Amino acid sequence: MDLLEYQGKQYFARYGIPVSPGGVAVTPDEAVELAESLGYPVVVKAQVQVGGRGKAGGIKLAADAAEARAHATAILGMDIKGHLVRRVWVEHASDIAKEYYASFTLDRGAKAHLAMVSAKGGVDIEEVAVEDPGAIARLHVDPYEGFSEPQAWLLVEEAAIDEEARPGAVDVLLSLYRCFVEGDADLVEVNPLVLTPDGRVHALDAKVTLDDNAAFRHPEWAEYELTAELDDRERHARQVGLQYVGLDGFIGIIANGAGLAMSTCDVVNQVGGRPANFLDIGGGASAEVMANALEVINSDASVRSIFINIFGGITRGEDVANGIVTALSRVDIKIPMVIRLDGTNAEQGREILRTVESDMVITSPSMMDAARRAVALAGNEK
Ligand code: GDP
Ligand code: MN
| 122 CB near ligand 1 (under 6 Å) | yes
Can you count the helices (H) and strands (E) in the chain? 13, 18
**Residues 228, 128: contact at Cβ < 8 Å?**
no
Mean pLDDT of the chain: 94
Q: Of the bound ligands, which one is closest to the alpha carbon of residue 51?
A: 1
From 2, 12, 59, the mutation candidate for ligand 1 (largest count of ligand atoms within 8 A of CB) is 59
Same domain, 171 and 309: no
Q: Of the bound ligands, which one is closest to the alpha carbon of residue 190?
A: 2
Q: Which amino acid is at 105?
A: T
Q: What is the pLDDT of residue 61?
A: 98
* Residue 206's CATH number: 3.30.470.20
**Residues 127, 55: contact at Cβ < 8 Å?**
no
Q: Residue 318, class by beta-carbon neighbours within 10 Å (0-12 exposed, 13-18 middle, 19+ buried)?
A: buried
Q: What is the pLDDT of residue 233?
A: 87
- Cis peptide leading into residue 143 (ω within 30°): no
Is 189 marked active-site? yes
Q: Is residue 7 part of a domain?
A: no
Task: Please give the helix or strand (H or E) that residue 223 lies within, else none.
Answer: helix 222-225
Q: pLDDT category, 381, cuts 50, 70, 90? A: low
Q: Is residue 270 part of a domain?
A: yes
3-state secondary structure of 178: helix
Is 100 marked active-site? no
> Between 367-378 and 258-270, two packed helices, what is the crossing angle to 10 degrees?
60
Same domain, 258 and 196: no
**Mind listing the pLDDT tens digit for each residue in 17-60?**
999 999 999 999 999 999 999 999 999 999 998 888 999 999 99
Average pLDDT over residues 152-178: 98
State yes or no: pLDDT of 284 exceeds 80: no
Q: Which atom of ligand 1 is nearest to 51's Cα?
A: 3
Catalytic residue among 101, 177, 224, 244: 101
What residue numbers bound the domain in which 35 lies? 20-92
* Residue 46's CATH number: 3.30.1490.20
**Residues 32, 72: contact at Cβ < 8 Å?**
yes
Into how many domains does the chain fold? 3
DSSP sequence for 292-348: HHHHHHHT-TT--EEEEEEEESSS-HHHHHHHHHHHHHHS---S-EEEEEEETTHHH
Same domain, 286 and 351: yes
From 100, 125, 205, the mutation candidate for ligand 1 (largest count of ligand atoms within 8 A of CB) is 205
Residue nearest (by alpha carbon) to ligand 1 atom 13: 122
Q: What is the pLDDT of residue 235?
A: 84
Same domain, 247 and 217: no
Same domain, 241 and 199: no
Same domain, 189 and 125: yes
Catalytic residue among 189, 224, 295, 318: 189
